[in-house]
Structures are given as C-alpha cells and as structure tokens.
Structure 1
C-alpha cells in the first residue's frame, strides 16, 4: 500500500477499551477532529513481550503528549475483551495495568488493512479455499495525524522492532513548530532549536552556518 502521508487518515468505527477498563462501541478518531493532534499506533498482539514495553512507554510519556494537546490511541487485531483482560494484569506479570489511553479492537482486521499495517493478506489456493498468507496481525505502525485528520508522519516497523517514544514526541513538536511558525525543521531538530525558512535562501543560509 502506498504511503498515507498527506492524505486523510482512514475512517473507522470499532470497539475499544478506554480509561484502563471501560469497553465502548463505535470508537472513532473523528472525535479529535478540529481539537487535537493524534498519535495512532498499532502493535501486533496482546499478552506478548515487546508490545507491553511500548504501551507502558507511551503511558509514561502520556502527560507530555497531553501537554501538547495530542491524543494517544493504540490498536491491535485482538478483541476488546482481550484488551480488557490484559489491562487487568499487573506490569510485573506481563500485563499493561495502568495504561489509560484508548486501545482499539480491530477484530475484522480492516483498520490495519486500510492503514497498510496488516502483516499478511488473503488469497485463494488452487482448491478455491480462502487462505491467509501471513500471521494477519498488525506491524508496528505509527501515524501522526493533524487536527484536520491528515496524516503528517508515518512509521512502520517489522514485528521484532520496538519504537522510540521520544522520537514520536519530537515529531509532534516538529509538526506543531511548523504549524505555528511556518518554518521547516532540519535534520536532528529538537524543541527549542531554530527552524528554517521554506525557501532556497533559507536552505543556503543554514548550510553556510553549519
């Protein structure tokens, strides 16, 4: 699937667990339109090993995302009941108790498919039977969505490769800096650094001084 950057984030409505234990139906990212930026990330499976490290890492930085008026939402192809059960398990037992941001249940796998993060596809074998060509779970995809619902940053890791939450925060800062100042962010830009004017003169001045 081609990149979603610069395009409207695919719309969905699905079950989810919010506030660490409340199951809801018809959860949608539409609730944030015009109000908040959104970090929407996929992880492969509940009750695994790398996944809880990522979910806890996002929870540890949740206040920093919220201070930037940015919502954090997770998603996997497990059911909301599975999410709920995992949320009841203590961290020391491999659970994700204490995670409070929404976790979407993509049980039909259509959300992962539409976001281009589904590991595998459906095919038909020589006998005409429908078969899966992969594990049919989500890669570690991450999407930064602006207040207009447009994807501005996209990252997809293979299953063994955990993400850097600090880098996600940096991308939120970079997008908001651009939106507020109209200046672009050069390599290794961090919050508090100078940006660049989006013209050839600005680029030339940047390289002449570095």
Structure 2
C-alpha cells in the first residue's frame, strides 16, 4: 500500500550508531521533533554484494543531504551485533567502515511489515494445518522520503539486484523543497535552478512551448 501523502508509521525500532551505541529510533519523531526531512533506505542484508555499494554511496553524499536539512538513516532486518561487525569491516573487504549515519535493526520486522516491503508470502499447508512463510523474509531496496511534518512525499522499491541512484533522491528533495518554498510544481527532469511552473494549463502550455 502506497504511503505517499500519508503519515509515516509511528513505530520505534532498535538501531546502532557508528560507535556501537545501541539506540532506539522512531523515524517519525526524527522528522517532526528535529524539523528535518528524513531519507530512510532499506537494504536486504549486511555482508552482501550490492548493499555495501549503496551504503557507501549514501555516505559519500551525506554532506549534500545535510545541506538540504535531511537526516539519512539506513535499515535492514539484521541485528545490531551484525551491523556493528559490518561497520568494523574495511571497505576493501566488503565492509562499511566509515559509514556514520545510524542503522535500524528491525529484527522484529514490525516496521518493515507495516511498510509492506518484505519479500515474504504466507502459504497455507494443509498437511500440517499451519501457515508457512515463503521467501527470504528480508526487505527489498525500499526508500522513503519524509517531510518535517512526518508525511511521506516519495517512496520507491527496487528488486534486490537493482542498486539505487543516490542523486535522484537529492533531486526529489530539491523538487519538494521548491514546492514547499514557492508553491510551484516541478516538470519532468526538473533540477534545482531550473524553471518550474504554476499549476495551471497556461503555465504548462508556455513551458512546453519553450522546451
């Protein structure tokens, strides 16, 4: 179920910092109490293949997100202990040493289940009269952008083999911030500094005529 335009779930989850501090993070409160936007990205598993490339890519762009008043939070269903081991594994060994933003450890799967991003399906087994789970029961590569009021303004879900383009999320934040500040709408391929439009047919016609 799409969450765009809705409040992000009010669920608190275990997390860990780069220093190994055990935390409890409520993403909704991170946005509303700090008056910041939040980028929350989910990845399938620690110590895998595409995942470390994404975590390092978000780390490399962390300064750009901070310029945009945006908190970055990573998340998977791994434990804090596994997260910490991965944080202490060098980059040249497939680790994420140097990542400084917090990582959620949604081992209960309460939040990922509420978001509907788990690779899992319930199947009834007649032989045992039980419901079995099929699938990996880990998350797809899901990304949520949340505004200062706790409202989701963008979400995207990739299949597991498909890594994300971090710059696209910066562009989406720029576009949403422009809408917030100017009340204009952003056309296709809009980037910061480019012309936007008023939400009416005349403005659209003028824009299309020029482009």
Aligned to 1:8: 7
Aligned to 1:28: 26
Aligned CA-pair RMSD: 1.2
Whether the 8 Å CA contact 2:18–2:102 is kept in 1: the answer is yes
**Equivalent-residue separation in structure 2 for 1:81 and 1:3 (angstroms):** 32
Aligned to 1:101: 101
> What do residues 93-152 of structure 1 show as CA deviations (whole Å, max 9, x unaligned)?
111011111100010112111112111133431112331121100000001111010110
| Pairs within 5 Å for 1:27-106 | 27-29=25-27, 30-33=29-32, 35-106=35-106
> What do residues 177-197 of structure 1 show as CA deviations (whole Å, max 9, x unaligned)?
111111111111111111110
**Equivalent-residue separation in structure 2 for 1:140 and 1:146 (angstroms):** 20
**Equivalent-residue separation in structure 2 for 1:87 and 1:4 (angstroms):** 30
Whether the 8 Å CA contact 2:78–2:105 is kept in 1: the answer is yes
What is the Cα deviation at residue 46 of structure 1?
A: 0.4
Q: Which runs of 4+ in 1 moved over 3 A?
A: none
Whether the 8 Å CA contact 2:30–2:38 is kept in 1: the answer is no
Structure 2, unaligned stretches of length 5 or more? none
Normalized against structure 2, the TM-score is what? 0.95
- The number of residue pairs the alignment matches comes to 208
What is the Cα deviation at residue 201 of structure 1?
A: 1.5
Aligned to 1:117: 117
Whether the 8 Å CA contact 1:79–1:106 is kept in 2: the answer is yes
What is the Cα deviation at residue 202 of structure 1?
A: 1.0
Structure 1, unaligned stretches of length 5 or more? none
